[in-house]
């Protein structure tokens, strides 16, 4: 776990199916995507911390007019999920029936199979 | 006790807003600048301007970066030091803020601050993509959210938590369209009903077409001067008595409460403290209604009402022209239009008219103090400006 804390490393770990945040060694603050400088105590001592995939939907929207990249998926939902560790993440889904504030969900990571930058995976729910 | 003004607006201009086919950004600026020149008492005000500061969001729309020297050249200046500033939808206010710093530092006596955007060369999808570039690529863009989508997340949570309704959102659109009907420079001069708004097509649920600001071409400009010399250029100076600037976390996942936009409150506090007044002392407001929910949240953050009661406030008509907090007499971003880089300056242009009593049928009676609130991105950048008509 000595890899440098960068956004690219975060997404390459995610590609292998695991979600890692950065955690401030001094105050415990979790950050997603990970960052070197703690936004709470400004410490520069951070480490990787693996997260679970469970959380609840804090809010959601259903996108009908999409950006170009997601044109083929409309209508799709985007939900703001608060993970059990208390940190938030955005996920996209076409299972619109799951979209309810307070709904328990499991985060899933899918490889976007892209050959150009950014070749980051996407987050969805199961 | 009134403090000395930070700077004084001695002239202002604004182009017609709309789909301005056949006109480029620089030509929209010329249109706004000609009005500002014609309003000046000093026919040689151009010669007194020593710096040009331009708010402009995206080089994507006209495939044109490095715009500042081109703009000042087209406005007829030779060798005018010029700079472009960019803070997404708050680019105009960022230009104004830099203009205030230029004057208040003592470095400049007279400055031109302007904002412009020419958006309608592009398709809806292209505009959606370009606007989305103002949000964090590592979080928001990558999730498939759009710019509307970010505000839709706020709306869904606000509705769930506080009982705000889709009708409340529609009422914001109805009010702003009604005001724009009386604004000849507005993009859309069209009265709409709550039913029209509710029936309009969904863009990002719960937000529909009429919850969204318009994709507009337009420009606006202000000429700022040191307060001591303002009367050389105008008999009706409008003083800038407060200027607040705040930032928030870059991604909405970092925000503690998705129903709040705390940066508005912080910028407003700074501006009102400088002006040494309270929110109730302000007579007229121009608010950043990029989406209807944003105006409702702004009511709450500015302290028109308690957190969660913004929907009630619009239902009660308190933000109508004759209400306690008249908001967006211009028609707002919603109906006057939202040429991204021009918006912050165009808000000040409206207040300039209002405080001079020149706003025609949308005039807020007896308005002496005005406040503009302009936001960049999904609530990251915030500017609040307080103006007062000089006695
Ligand atoms: Zn820390």
Q: What does the mean pLDDT of chain B come to?
A: 97
SS3 of B148, please? helix
Question: B205, A62: Cβ pair inside 8 Å?
Answer: yes
**Which one of A89, A90, A120 has the shortest CB-CB distance to B145?**
A90
pLDDT for B1 beyond 70: no
Fold of A54-125: OB fold (Dihydrolipoamide Acetyltransferase, E2P) (2.40.50)
- Nearest-Cα distance to chain A for B380, in Å, is 15
Mean pLDDT over B46-66 rounds to 97
Sequence spans of domains, chain A:
7-50, 54-125
Break chain A down into helix, strand, coil percent, rounded to 5: 15, 35, 50
Q: Which of B126, B201, B250, B253 to mutate to test the interface with A (most CBs of A within 10 A)?
A: B253
CA of A36 to the centre of ligand 1 (A): 10
Sequence spans of domains, chain B:
7-122+216-238, 135-213+240-389
Each residue of B110-155: pLDDT tens digit? 999 999 999 999 998 899 889 999 999 999 999 999 999 999 999 9
CA of A38 to the centre of ligand 1 (A): 5
Fold of B7-122+216-238: Peroxisomal Thiolase; Chain A, domain 1 (3.40.47)
Residue ranges of chain A with pLDDT lower than 50? none
pLDDT classification of B250: cutoffs 50, 70, 90: confident
pLDDT for B2 beyond 80: no
SS3 of A14, please? helix
Question: What does pTM read for this prediction?
Answer: 0.97
Question: A101, B149: Cβ pair inside 8 Å?
Answer: no
Return the ∠ at Cα B148 (arms to B253 and A118), rounded to 5°: 60
pLDDT for B18 beyond 80: yes
Cβ neighbours for A37, distance < 8 A, ≥ 6 positions apart: A43, A44
Question: B125, A68: Cβ pair inside 8 Å?
Answer: yes
Please tell me the distance from the alpha carbon of residue B370 to that of residue B265, in angstroms, as a whole number.
16
**Backbone phi and psi for residue B150, each to the nearest 5 degrees, phi listed first:** -60, -45
pLDDT at B249: 82
Q: Where are the alpha helices (DSSP H) in B233-380?
A: 262-275, 292-302, 310-315, 332-335, 343-356
Question: B125, A118: Cβ pair inside 8 Å?
Answer: no
Mean pLDDT over B186-203 rounds to 98
- Domain B135-213+240-389, CATH homologous superfamily name and number: Thiolase/Chalcone synthase (3.40.47.10)
Indicate if B135-213+240-389 has the same CATH topology as B7-122+216-238: yes
Query: Does the interface ipTM go beyond 0.90?
Result: yes
pLDDT classification of B45: cutoffs 50, 70, 90: very high
Q: Which of A36, A39, A64, A116 to mutate to test the interface with B (most CBs of B within 10 A)?
A: A64
Cβ neighbours for B162, distance < 8 A, ≥ 6 positions apart: B259, B307, B308, B309, B310, B311
First-residue to last-residue Cα distance in chain B: 15
Mean pLDDT over B285-304 rounds to 98
pLDDT at B230: 98
Contact indicator for B87, B94 with CB cutoff of 8 Å: yes
**Which one of B128, B141, B156 has the shortest CB-CB distance to A60?**
B156
pLDDT at A2: 63
Contact indicator for B47, B109 with CB cutoff of 8 Å: no
Catalytic residues of B: 89, 338
Question: A58, B157: Cβ pair inside 8 Å?
Answer: yes
DSSP of B166-178: HHHHHHHHHHHHH
Contact indicator for B98, B85 with CB cutoff of 8 Å: yes
**Which one of A66, A68, A88 has the shortest CB-CB distance to B253?**
A88
pLDDT at A56: 98
Each residue of B59-90: pLDDT tens digit? 999 999 999 999 999 999 989 999 999 999 99
């Amino acid at each position: 776990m000595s890899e440098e804390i960068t956004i690219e490393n975060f997404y390459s770990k995610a590609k292998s199916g695991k979600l890692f945040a950065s955690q401030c060694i001094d105050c415990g603050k979790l950050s997603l995507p990970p960052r070197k400088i703690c936004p709470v105590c400004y410490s520069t001592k951070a480490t990787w911390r693996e997260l679970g995939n469970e959380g609840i939907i804090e809010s959601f929207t259903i996108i009908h007019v999409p950006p170009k990249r997601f044109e083929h998926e409309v209508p799709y939902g985007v939900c703001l999920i608060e993970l059990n560790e208390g940190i938030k993440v955005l996920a996209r889904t076409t299972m619109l029936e799951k979209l309810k504030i307070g709904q328990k969900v499991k985060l899933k990571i899918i490889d976007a199979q892209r050959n150009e930058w950014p070749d980051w995976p996407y987050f969805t729910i199961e | 006790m009134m403090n000395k003004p930070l700077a004084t607006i001695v002239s202002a201009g604004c182009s017609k807003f709309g789909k301005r086919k056949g006109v480029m950004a620089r030509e929209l600026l010329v249109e706004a600048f000609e009005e500002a020149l014609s309003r000046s008492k000093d026919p040689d005000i151009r010669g007194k301007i020593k710096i040009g500061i331009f708010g402009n969001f995206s080089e994507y729309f006209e495939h044109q970066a490095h715009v500042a020297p081109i703009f000042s050249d087209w406005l007829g200046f030779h060798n005018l030091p010029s700079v472009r500033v960019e803070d997404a939808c708050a680019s105009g206010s960022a230009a104004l803020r830099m203009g205030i710093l230029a004057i208040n530092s003592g470095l400049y006596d007279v400055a031109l601050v302007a904002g412009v955007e020419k958006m309608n060369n592009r398709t809806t999808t292209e505009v959606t993509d370009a606007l989305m570039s103002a949000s964090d690529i590592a979080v928001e863009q990558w999730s498939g959210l759009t710019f509307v989508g970010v505000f839709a997340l706020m709306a869904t949570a606000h509705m769930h938590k506080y009982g705000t309704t889709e009708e409340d959102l529609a009422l914001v659109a109805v009010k702003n369209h009604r005001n724009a009907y009386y604004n000849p420079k507005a993009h859309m001069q069209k009265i709409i009903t709550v039913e029209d708004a509710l029936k309009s097509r969904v863009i990002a649920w719960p937000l529909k077409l009429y919850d969204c600001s318009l994709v507009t071409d337009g420009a606006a400009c202000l000429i700022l001067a040191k307060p001591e010399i303002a009367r050389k250029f105008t008999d009706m100076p409008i003083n800038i008595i407060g200027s607040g600037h705040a930032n928030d976390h870059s991604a909405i996942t970092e925000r503690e409460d998705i129903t709040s936009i705390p940066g508005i409150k912080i910028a407003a506090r700074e501006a009102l403290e400088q002006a040494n007044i309270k929110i109730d002392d302000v007579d007229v407001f121009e608010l950043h209604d990029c989406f209807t929910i944003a105006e409702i949240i702004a009511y709450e953050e500015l302290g028109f009402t308690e957190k969660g009661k913004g929907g009630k406030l619009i239902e009660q008509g308190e933000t109508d022209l004759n209400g306690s907090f008249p908001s967006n007499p211009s028609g707002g971003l919603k109906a006057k239009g939202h040429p991204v880089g021009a918006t912050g300056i165009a808000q000040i242009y409206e207040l300039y008219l209002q405080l001079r009593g020149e706003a025609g049928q949308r005039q807020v009676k007896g308005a002496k103090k005005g406040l503009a609130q302009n936001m960049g991105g999904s609530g990251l950048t915030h500017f609040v400006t307080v103006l007062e008509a000089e006695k």
